[in-house]
């Protein structure tokens, strides 16, 4: 098989890049190791920045998002038993869209199926070759017992944190920056009406909590948990009891509980690999960087990476190398600002095992300042709704 761009991974990065390239008339093939149903079963992000919404609109896949997604004008921060609203729209003129990553993925998959472009699901032993110095890179994979090769001009590594692309770069060409946090998030999805019409981020002595949603009838909640916890140890009852204990009394009284549809534990990590281009291999999304989910930035960063990448590739095929040459630099500037914001919000909202009473008091003082200073609220709001591309 021969194509212009071979995309590894059919998560949001790979599917969106495929959509942008197809829209610009650039041929592409996506190779994914899992099945489509498996990809759709991973419950992850819920908050889209306006830039991400506009990108989905630009390739004509935004209709269901606008019909079913929930535009939010504010978020709440809760600490010391009180709720405080950050009026995002009032402070920035921008809102965010609550629409699950699963739904974004489903819409992109549908558009891809309609376009007739090739997506290979359940590809085994995917490997990438001849990208550093060669002009003719290739991708190999095994499917139904046979080995297949894709010859291409470029390989886009959209295969997530555990993917094969970053791992195939010679160690002396890449620099990794990493911070692992000493706790995780236990998430629960349930068909119960959300506690409130906006998201609530909780800072509590017992640990962080988050009340989010997927629709007016489906809620997504998280509680900070220990890294040693196993999801099987957490019954639904234990989850609801813990969440209720972290909520202020008025909110706890409104909490509607029900059986979980899904429960999982996510580790929190900050990670950046530099650069993002290695000859004809270009990394995008979680393959190149991870943020802790506290700032709701992971999927949005993946979207801005692939927007820059699509621009670079379109430029290349029109005869201009400049945009592709600056791909890493353009992405990394935005990535580091999102890394900083995500690290800051994680530090502000969680109970760190090493924190003493002094650190705890400083955390509360910072929250107090944040919600009572317009300048501080605005700085948070600007980052939360997404810095300009």
Residue 159 interacting partner from ligand PHB, ligand RFL, none (CB closer than 5 to 8 Å by kind) = ligand RFL
Residue 294: contacted member of ligand PHB, ligand RFL, none (CB under 5 to 8 Å, by partner type): ligand PHB
Rg, Å, the chain Cα set: 21
Q: Is 47 exposed, middle or buried (0-12, 13-18, 19+ CB in 10 A)?
A: buried
Q: Which of 204, 289, 297, 350 is catalytic?
A: 297
Shortest CB 213 distance to ligand PHB, Å: 7
Work out what residue 72 binds among ligand PHB, ligand RFL, none; the CB cut-off runs from 5 to 8 Å by kind: none
Which stretch, 4-12, 39-47, 253-261, 274-282, contacts ligand PHB (CB under 6 A)? Answer: 39-47
The contact pattern for ligand PHB, residues 192-211, with x = CB under 6 A and - = no contact, is -------x----------x-
72 is catalytic: yes
**46 lies in the binding site for ligand PHB (CB under 6 A):** yes
**Residue 293 annotated in active site:** yes
Is 287 or 314 the residue whose CB approaches ligand RFL more closely? 287
- Is residue 33 within the footprint of ligand PHB (CB under 6 A)? no
Q: How far is the CB of 31 from ligand PHB (least distance, A)?
A: 27
141 given a catalytic annotation: no
Q: 273 is in the binding site of which of ligand RFL, ligand PHB, none (Cβ under 5 to 8 A by kind)?
A: none
Residue 232 has φ and ψ, to the nearest 5°, of -65, -25
If you search the block for the tokens 């909110």, which residue do you land on?
Answer: 251
Q: At closest approach, how far in Å is the CB of 25 from ligand PHB?
A: 35
Residue 162 annotated in active site:
no
Residue 47 within binding range of ligand PHB, rule CB under 6 A: yes
Q: Binding marks (x or -) toward ligand PHB, 281..300, rule CB under 6 A? A: ------------xx-x----
Looking at beta carbons only, is 31 or 190 nearer to ligand PHB?
190
Residues annotated catalytic, as ranges: 72, 201, 293, 297, 384
């Amino acid at each position: 098989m021969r194509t212009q761009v071979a995309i590894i991974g059919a998560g949001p990065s790979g599917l969106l890049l495929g959509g942008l390239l197809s829209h610009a008339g650039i041929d592409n093939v996506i190779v994914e190791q899992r099945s489509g149903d498996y990809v759709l079963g991973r419950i992850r992000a819920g908050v889209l920045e306006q830039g991400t919404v506009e990108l989905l609109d630009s390739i004509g896949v935004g209709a269901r998002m606008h019909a079913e997604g929930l535009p939010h004008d504010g978020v709440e921060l809760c600490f010391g038993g009180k709720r405080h609203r950050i009026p995002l729209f009032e402070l920035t003129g921008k809102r965010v869209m609550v629409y699950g990553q699963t739904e974004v993925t489903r819409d992109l998959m549908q558009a891809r199926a309609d376009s007739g472009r090739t997506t290979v699901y359940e590809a085994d032993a995917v490997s990438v070759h001849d990208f550093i110095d060669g002009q003719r890179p290739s991708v190999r994979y095994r499917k139904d017992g046979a080995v297949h090769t894709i010859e291409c001009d470029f390989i886009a590594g959209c295969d997530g944190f555990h993917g094969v692309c970053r791992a195939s770069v010679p160690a002396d060409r890449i620099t990794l920056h990493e911070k692992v946090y000493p706790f995780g998030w236990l998430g629960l999805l349930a068909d119960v009406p959300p506690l409130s019409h906006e998201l609530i981020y909780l800072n509590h002595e017992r640990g962080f909590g988050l009340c989010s949603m997927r629709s007016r009838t489906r809620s997504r909640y998280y509680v900070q948990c220990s890294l040693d916890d196993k999801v099987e140890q957490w019954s639904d009852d234990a989850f609801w009891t813990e969440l209720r204990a972290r909520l202020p009394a008025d909110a706890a009284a409104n909490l509607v509980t029900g059986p979980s549809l899904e429960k999982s534990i996510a580790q929190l990590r900050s990670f950046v690999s530099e650069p993002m281009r290695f000859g004809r291999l270009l990394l995008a999304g979680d393959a190149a960087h991870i943020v802790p989910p506290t700032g709701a930035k992971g999927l949005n960063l993946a979207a801005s990476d692939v927007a820059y990448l699509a621009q670079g590739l379109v430029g290349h095929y029109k005869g201009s190398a400049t945009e592709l040459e600056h791909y890493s630099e353009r992405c990394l500037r935005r990535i580091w600002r999102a890394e900083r914001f995500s690290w800051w919000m994680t530090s502000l909202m969680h109970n760190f095992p090493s924190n003493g009473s002094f650190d705890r008091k400083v955390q509360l003082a910072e929250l107090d300042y944040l919600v009572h200073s317009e300048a501080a609220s605005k700085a948070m709001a600007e980052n939360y709704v997404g810095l300009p591309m």
